[in-house]
Amino acid sequence: MPADGYGISTGKPTTRPSGQFPFEPPEHFPHASREAVAVEFDRFVDQADDLVESEQLFYLLAGFVSNFGYRWIAYSPLTPDQESLGAVSRDHVSFLNFPQEWQERYAEMGYDRIDPVVKISRKREGAFRWSEVYNDASTSEKERKVLDEAATFGLRSAVSVPLHGPDANFAILSFAQPQDCECQNKTVAYLQCSALHFHLKITELGRPKARWTGNSLSSREKECILWAARGKSSWETGMILGISANTVNFHIKNVMRKLDAASRTLAAVKAISLGLIAL
């Protein structure tokens, strides 16, 4: 079976899509003693309880799960009537640091509409390996294609944790790594516990205030929002830049999140007023 993989590209805000963390990951302990792992988990919980910034909490979680070899994280809340990851409510906080190339490919191909991990997450209570999704009899060949292609971008082994809440709302927190390996049951348990604590803490912190600076916009995001400000459609912008309309929409949605704008028009106005682009 091909190595498993998966990616999401939505939410507010997107945290460090390049996948780089502001710390050196500690040495991971796949064969460490039970006591050592327990100590690290206790430290994660204690430090998380003292944090007041959602980004700090994300980095703390990233540091803990890197002990198990997981370098990529994706966290996205969904609403009961939301059928894909492509239209997350602005009232929800989403984080991901999956490779930028995969995020763009995922958006361009519209994989959010056929992502099998979302389908399985709605039915499952506990954490699961993506290899289980790939081998599930209900997973179609189109859905397996998403997993196959994600593996080519380096997401080769992973675990997802469905986080079900009141009023049928739920979130998915996924951990991925580039190595081909089967996650041990003990590791899955720690990932699930840390995911639950992260989710509860994020909910407690509520919606963060916008803290983005001009440097937070990538050159491609600036190009896309500039042409939007000049009145070009996503299709027209794509023709100008040599990319697809889906990719243009992906970058504009990122700008909207970063500038806390409800529409592309408002995002363009904010970008101009902040001096990020010039007509």
The CATH number of residue 226's host domain is: 1.10.10.10
Q: What is the pLDDT of residue 4?
A: 33
Measured between alpha carbons, how far is 68 from 65 in angstroms, rounded to an integer? 5
| The last residue of a domain, from among 159, 184, 205 | 205
Kindly report whether the peptide bond that precedes residue 13 is cis, defined as omega within 30 degrees of 0. Answer: yes
Residues 65, 94 share a domain: yes
| The last residue of a domain, from among 161, 180, 205 | 205
Query: pLDDT of 174-219, one tens digit each?
Result: 999 998 888 888 899 999 999 989 988 888 887 444 444 444 788 8
Q: CA torsion sign, 228 to 234 to 236 to 238?
A: positive
The answer as to whether 161 is a domain residue is: yes
Q: Which pTM was predicted?
A: 0.67
| Per-residue CA distances from 158 to 45, 70, 123, 181, 192 (Å) | 22, 8, 18, 9, 12
**Mean pLDDT value of segment 119-135:** 91
What is the β-pairing status of strands 95-96 and 72-78? antiparallel
Residue 6 burial (10 A CB sphere; 0-12, 13-18, 19+): buried
Paired strand residues for 121: none
Q: Strand, helix or coil at 50? A: helix
Residues 58, 146 share a domain: yes
Cβ pair 97, 65 in contact under 8 A: no
Q: Which domain, by its residues, includes 94?
A: 34-205
Across the beta sheet with 95-96, what order do the strands follow?
Answer: 95-96, 72-78, 170-177, 157-164, 128-129
The answer as to whether 1 is a domain residue is: no
Query: pLDDT of 28-72, one tens digit each?
Result: 555 556 778 888 888 999 999 888 888 899 999 999 999 899 999
The answer as to whether 3 is a domain residue is: no
Q: What is the pLDDT of residue 81?
A: 59
Q: What is the pLDDT of residue 240?
A: 94
| The last residue of a domain, from among 205, 236, 252 | 205
Per-residue pLDDT at 261 exceeds 60 = yes
Residues 171, 47 share a domain: yes
Q: What is the pLDDT of residue 82?
A: 58
Count Cα neighbours of 1 within 13 Å in the Cβ-side half-sphere: 18
Structure tokens at 86: 């492509």
Q: What is the pLDDT of residue 96?
A: 86
Q: What is the pLDDT of residue 273?
A: 73
- CATH no. for residue 86? 3.30.450.80
Per-residue pLDDT at 119 exceeds 80 = yes
Quote the mean pLDDT of the chain.
Answer: 80
The answer as to whether 179 is a domain residue is: yes
Residues 106, 138 share a domain: yes
Confidence of residue 84 (pLDDT cuts 50, 70, 90): low
The answer as to whether 24 is a domain residue is: no
Residue 194: how many other CB atoms lie within 10 Å: 23
Residues 254, 139 share a domain: no
Residues 218, 155 share a domain: no
Residues 189, 236 share a domain: no
Cβ pair 272, 239 in contact under 8 A: no
Residues 229, 158 share a domain: no
Residues 223, 137 share a domain: no
Residues 232, 201 share a domain: no
Residues 128, 71 share a domain: yes
Per-residue pLDDT at 79 exceeds 70 = no
Q: Alpha helix locations (H) across the chain?
A: 34-50, 54-66, 100-109, 116-123, 130-135, 141-152, 185-205, 219-229, 234-241, 245-258, 264-273
Domain count, the chain: 2
What is the β-pairing status of strands 128-129 and 157-164? antiparallel
Residues 197, 221 share a domain: no
167: left (phi over 0), alpha (psi -120 to 50) or beta: left
Residue type at 173 in one-letter notation? L
Kindly report whether the peptide bond that precedes residue 25 is cis, defined as omega within 30 degrees of 0. Answer: no
Query: pLDDT of 130-175, one tens digit each?
Result: 999 999 999 999 999 999 999 999 999 999 999 887 666 788 999 9
Paired strand residues for 160: 128, 174
Q: What percent of the chain has pLDDT over 90?
A: 42
Confidence of residue 267 (pLDDT cuts 50, 70, 90): confident
The answer as to whether 7 is a domain residue is: no
